[in-house]
Structure 1
């Protein structure tokens, strides 16, 4: 099973990226919000990470595609793939938790799913290379091409975030990886079955679409301390008490317990886990070391 690490504070990205690569993580990840939670811009952070690493792959988890003109998103992704020398994977989602983000860029939140679908079509066309013409609701292209194109043939692999029916259908149509969060192993298994059924319905090989789990994690030899730290972190991020949901959706406890829970998701079909360290800033390095040295080996 592959493992990724969500980057921390923007100011520490170069150091965090070097460290994650040295610790043996397979992916560096970065999410996105404009005005919701403390969130950076993945194109900027992952470009900084690409400049100081050579092996680790980079994935946005996720970029809010409806906030961008589709052609601009394609250009940013292609440029980042060039900077990373073919190590970038583009995770996208619809967003919607914070309507103010959409209003700030002149996008109606009610249009976000239509914009996401059209944006994915445009990305796929532009990533193929060569001139493209396209007439959509939000995008008009007249015989244009990305130059330089992405390094990877066909463009960066697409990850599709979300756990609802629309996201499942969309992942089957467009994605190489479905990325749910706040799910149980049972939900992941059922969702992946749906994703692969949708892929077959679009003439794709169902086995060509995999699943990755995004999860908040805190591991410590003192399982109680890990649980308290993780619940406090996620409760603050989402502005609600996460204690009743912790056992269902968070990866908290001793290293062995966290590894066992991740293996349950692997058995349900996940081939990758992206971990967001759920700990206060002063404890993040210690928890990260515990995950790297005591959890990752159990997943290999």
Structure 2
């Protein structure tokens, strides 16, 4: 019915910690049909009910957010969770034109400039006692922000990106990379290869740069049933993706028995993912149990 089941969220986070998972991630959507809670607010809730999970968002469309406000949001979150926050940011659907950006009082042709300027401001507010900045979109005069994030010099900022120019930007400025769930594994492998080349060109060690990918999955010994449920989910929630590519589910999802799911995840690791954001779409606690007990051991 579209209402949030916060008891399920709390129980799922508690079970994730019991099972030893590394991190919990949320998606971001401010305006749209998919019923997603606002990402920063949800992460603050997660901070209050967890003790060990790192907490991240994959990814916030950065140009539509006020960079000063987002800096404060994530400084606050990092204090609430004692240094476990990760901020994922992306440029957003700039190739789709102004329709999306106009909702937030901006334009697609401003997105990159807002992104670059906002990143400078956000990190400066985290790192410096006072900030003076004169830009196209922001003017800061002797501006302070306290408290600073627990993590130094600030909250890790991971980029979501695919275009070569965006990957170059990630190699220059990001603290990590998050591959999108809708990206097929062969394409992800090419992205990782290119990103590592760009990191080397920037004089950065690729071995010290975290690379992750989100993967939609369903653990079910009845593989046909799992595939049918995935088809139904994406047709209901993301019909435009199916319209663009009728093989969308087969291209990006992993499903079936624990053995089949492990076999489907292994190529993602081989492609360069050092961390996989395992993204079940229903029966979250049961899926976590199956992943922890029957799938992950097969990948070690």
The two structures share one fold, judged by TM-score above 0.5: yes
In structure 2, C-alpha distance between the alignment counterparts of 1:64 and 1:122, rounded to whole Å = 16
Inter-partner Cα distance in structure 1 for 2:162 and 2:20: 28
Q: Does 1:55 align with 2:52?
A: yes
Alignment partner of 1:87 is 2:84:
yes
RCO higher in structure (CA 8 A, sep ≥6): 1
Matching residue of 2:153? 154
Contact kept in structure 2, 1:215 and 1:250, CA below 8 Å:
yes
The 3 A distance-change label for structure 1 pair 99 and 225 is farther
- Tell me what 1:125 maps to: 124
Distance in 1 (CA, whole Å) between partners of 2:294 and 2:127 is 42
Q: What SS does the corresponding residue of 1:297 show, helix, strand or coil?
A: helix
> After TM superposition, what 4+ stretches of structure 1 lie above 6 angstroms from structure 2?
none
Give the deviation of 1:20 after TM superposition: 1.8
Unaligned runs of 5+ in 2: none
SS at match of 2:129: coil
Aligned pair partner of 1:28 in 19, 24, 27: 24
Query: In 2, Cα distance between the equivalents of 1:248 and 1:188?
Result: 12
Note closer, same or farther for the CA distance 1:38–1:100 as it changes in structure 2 (3 Å cut). Answer: farther
Cα distance in 1 for residues equivalent to 2:169 and 2:299 = 29
Per-residue Cα deviation, 1:42-88 (whole angstroms, up to 9, x for no partner): 21111101111111100111122112111111111111000010000
**Structure 1: runs of 5+ lacking an equivalent:** 1-7
2:253 matches 1:256: no
Q: Indicate conservation of the 8 Å contact 2:211/2:273, yes or no.
A: yes
Greater mean alpha carbon deviation, residues 21-30 or residues 102-111:
102-111
Task: Note the alpha carbon deviations across 1:122-147, whole angstroms, 9 max, x for none.
Answer: 22222223222222221222222321
- Identify if the C-alpha distance between structure 1 residues 126 and 201 changes in structure 2 by more than 3 Å, giving closer, same or farther: farther
Aligned to 1:18: 14
Does the CA-based 8 Å contact 2:63-2:91 persist in structure 1?
Answer: yes
> What is the SS of the residue equivalent to 2:217?
strand
TM-score for both structures, normalised by structure 2: 0.88
Shift of 1:262: 1.4
1:4 aligns with none
Counterpart Cα distance in 2 of 1:164 and 1:84: 33
Q: Higher mean Cα deviation, 211-220 or 254-263?
A: 254-263
Is 1:46 the counterpart of 2:43 in the alignment? yes
Q: Which moved more, 1:283-292 or 1:101-110?
A: 283-292
Give the aligned partner of residue 226 of structure 1: 226
Asked if 2 retains the 8 angstrom alpha-carbon contact of 1:168 and 1:178, the reply is no
CA distance in 1, matches of 2:124, 2:200: 20
Deviation at 1:100, TM superposition (A): 5.2
Other-structure match for 1:163? 162
SS of alignment partner, residue 230 of structure 1: helix
Q: Is the 8 A contact 1:219 1:252 kept in 2?
A: yes
Matches of 1:167 and 1:232, distance apart in 2: 33
Q: Which moved more, 1:84-93 or 1:177-186?
A: 177-186
The two structures have a TM-score, normalised by structure 1, of 0.88
Aligned twin of 1:210:
210
Q: Which residue does the alignment assign to 2:70?
A: 73
Residue matched to 1:136: 135
For the pair 1:239 / 2:242, whether they are aligned, the reply is no
Matched residues, number: 290
SS at match of 2:40: helix
The CA distance in 2 between the partners of 1:205 and 1:123, in whole Å, is: 24
CA distance in 2, matches of 1:83, 1:109: 34
